[in-house]
Amino acid sequence: MKKNISINIFGTIYAIDEDAYQLLDNYINGMKKYFGNKEGGEEIADDIEHRVAELLWEEKEKGMQAVNIETVRTIINKIGNAAEIDATGDVQSNANTDDATASEYSNQNSDDYKNMTFIERIRHSMKTRRLYRNGKDKVLGGVCSGLAEYFGGYEVTLWRLATLILFLIFIWADFAFFLLPGIYLALWVIVPEAKTHEDWLRMRGKEVNAENIKKQIMDEAEQGQNDTDCNRNCRGGGCLKLVFIVLLFFLLLPLIGVFFGLIVATVAMIMTGIGLISLPWNELGPDFITIFNTPGIKPLMWMMLISGIISIGLPIFAIIRRMWSRGKSMGRSAKVSMFIVWVLALATLLTSFIFAGTKIESEFDKIDEEGSTRNGITLSSERDWNRLDEQGWNIVKMSNVNPDITESRTGFGGMPPMAITIRRDQKNEPMMFTMNRVDYYEEGNYVVESLADVKGYGTKVTLSDDSDSTLTTLVLSTQGERLDTMSWEYGSKLPLFFSPDFGSWDSFAHKHGGDKWVYQVSKPFYHQGGNIIQTLSIDTLPVRRAKIRQIQIRKL
């Protein structure tokens, strides 16, 4: 039993079967779409609808009780398809056409196509078909169903399952799991949706001619009826699609977060860029002023800001437009232009970022080199000079020495929180190194103590007064008391330490970094009062490394 509905065409009520109504509605809407953008198209579409009404009235006068699908097909054959009407310009002049003699072109029905291998079918399909999104069989944008049609019309469910499985593999392998959703969104924005009958024929590799357009209209009506019957009688058929939608929703949650993150990033980039360009750099110090005033830095920052906004803002704009356009697709030329602008903006962003980063890094290197150089002597950074300044040391001579000579250490036992390491550079030639410091000491008897780990003979500490008279000399070597052989009871009594920590003694003396600290003390000497100049020197003798933890003058 078929369901009948009532329709009103130009004031006349007709009873029509549901499947016949679907066919007639698709036909009239298809004609309106076809002639919609043509000159005088609205009049032609209106004439077609009037012609349909006239033919229905003729059938009603013959005693027709209800319009069935055969009646609608007869009317369509009398009026003709869009291409025929467009060619003749006369809605009345088209005669009935025999479907059996229609020149239909279909790849799937040819014997050659059936005998092709899988790869040959794909190649043939890519040559004869155009890529469109299939809006009639979509979960999100119809991309998978469009690809399925483009590569041979294979089952779209396999494409969707393959996409999900590949996405899960990317997540499991921790490899660019945003890549597939990003490609999907890009195709959703760039690839047009098949809307007209011509689009559907091109998508399926069929020749665009009068008979194929008419057959496409008929097939769409029958397909609509089948879908209606399926919705009515086989509701369980959409379970797999429902599962796919649920899985895709959870898999796209990170992408949704990225989408909103891009919006936030765009706003942040705009505010940051404006803030950087309008920043009072003079309040940040002379280094920043020098870098910002370097020729070419400010234009590159402007380029980064503008191109960054475009490269992030265009995809966001395209997605928002797609969501709120109510099915109205952007023109192909507009899509191509937008894509070209996006690629150029992205290339500009990357190029300006690389050039700006290289230029800024070069300027910072220059500033660091200037700050780490004094009297022609260059250390690894200004930090090394600052650490030496804190202890009062000044380097006088340095040759064939690695420039990284200081390192932070804990202030164990009241010692300074720094160690000095003097070692050969990559040339591996004999070192020449001299540094000194000056302190005031009262009259009295003194000794000089050291805690060091040296490799090779030739590192010495020389004490002299203002008259350049040598007070004493201590040669640093392995000939002393080694901390790694001392017990806490003995080591804690060494006068070198002011406040040793029992809990840290074992780590400091026995294990720390493999250092073999040796405690040495000089013979007592008399100082009549005044400045004492401490000089740490290494001459051309074969010293491989000298690590000094502490040098101090102690009054007896």
- Dihedrals φ, ψ of 108, to 5°? -65, -30
CA dihedral over 488, 491, 492, 497, signed as positive or negative:
negative
Sheet with strand 394-399: strands edge to edge: 394-399, 432-441, 530-538, 459-464, 470-476
pLDDT digits (tens, 9 = 90+) for 299-326: 777 787 788 778 777 877 777 776 676 5
SS3 553: strand
| pTM of the model as a whole | 0.43
DSSP 13-42: EEEEEHHHHHHHHHHHHHHHHHHHTSTTHH
Instruction: Identify the pLDDT of residue 535.
Output: 94
Q: Judge whether 416 and 391 are in contact, CB under 8 Å.
A: yes
- pLDDT < 70: residue spans in the chain: 1-2, 11, 34-41, 80-118, 121, 153-154, 170-180, 197, 208-296, 322-323, 325-332, 364, 512-514, 540
pLDDT at 60: 77
Q: What is the dihedral of CA 296, 297, 300, 302, to 10 degrees?
A: -120
Q: What was the pLDDT predicted at 41?
A: 64
**Helix, coil or strand: residue 370:** helix
pLDDT, residue 193, reads 81
Q: How distant, in Å, are the alpha carbons of 21, 85, 321, 452 from that of 266?
A: 50, 51, 17, 56
- Backbone φ and ψ of 413, nearest 5°: 65, 20
* Closest-CA residue to 402 (of 536, 543, 535): 543
The reported pLDDT for the residue numbered 13 is 78
Q: Where are the alpha helices (DSSP H) in 234-296?
A: 239-251, 253-277, 286-292
User: For 372-392, what is each residue's pLDDT tens digit?
Assistant: 888 888 888 888 888 999 999
pLDDT for 235: 40
What are the residue ranges of helices labelled H in 37-117?
41-61, 69-79, 82-88, 111-114
Task: Check if the beta carbon of residue 520 is closer than 8 Å to that of residue 449.
Answer: yes
